[in-house]
Amino acid sequence: MPRFTQVTPRLPVKDLRRTIDFYVGQLGFVTDVLWPEREPTFAILCRDTTSLGFFEPNEHQRGAMGYAELYIQVTDALALHDWLAQRVAIEWGPEIYSYGRREFAFRDPDGYLVILTEPIDEPPTPDEPGGGEAA
């Protein structure tokens, strides 16, 4: 049976340059694809084994701005939280949830919720917003 091996979400953005600057400058992604060469309207950004695609809507990609969440598995969420807290406004977390994950979230410049998550074998965080349950 053929396998699915990777997914790269492609999200519409208002300003591609602003989005690239955020993901590269604040989160450590690198630009893998930028198209077309003159006045790009599409990009794929990569970090480690994670790829994200972004595009400015046009006659070929009519995607409308909307709501989306990027749920990205990481290693050492606490260290990443400490590093990112100096760069972005953390919306919630880090918290450990009953389903065995430590997570925290922030928003990118287009309002997409970015949730960073890692599997963990520790009890849920007590007395946190959401009571250790998914937000």
What sign does the CA torsion over 71, 24, 12, 3 have?
Answer: negative
First-to-last C-alpha distance (Å) of the chain: 37
Proportion of the chain above pLDDT 70, given as a percent: 93
Per the prediction, the chain carries an average pLDDT of 91
Cα of 130 vs its chain's centroid, Å: 21
User: Which tens digit of pLDDT belongs to each residue from 75-92?
Assistant: 999 999 999 999 999 999
Is-above-0.75 flag for pTM? yes
Topology given in CATH for the domain delimited by 1-58: 2,3-Dihydroxybiphenyl 1,2-Dioxygenase; domain 1 (3.10.180)
User: Which tens digit of pLDDT belongs to each residue from 19-37?
Assistant: 999 999 999 999 999 999 8
Tally of helices (H runs) and strands (E runs) in the chain:
2, 8
Topology given in CATH for the domain delimited by 66-135: 2,3-Dihydroxybiphenyl 1,2-Dioxygenase; domain 1 (3.10.180)
Proportion of the chain above pLDDT 90, given as a percent: 81
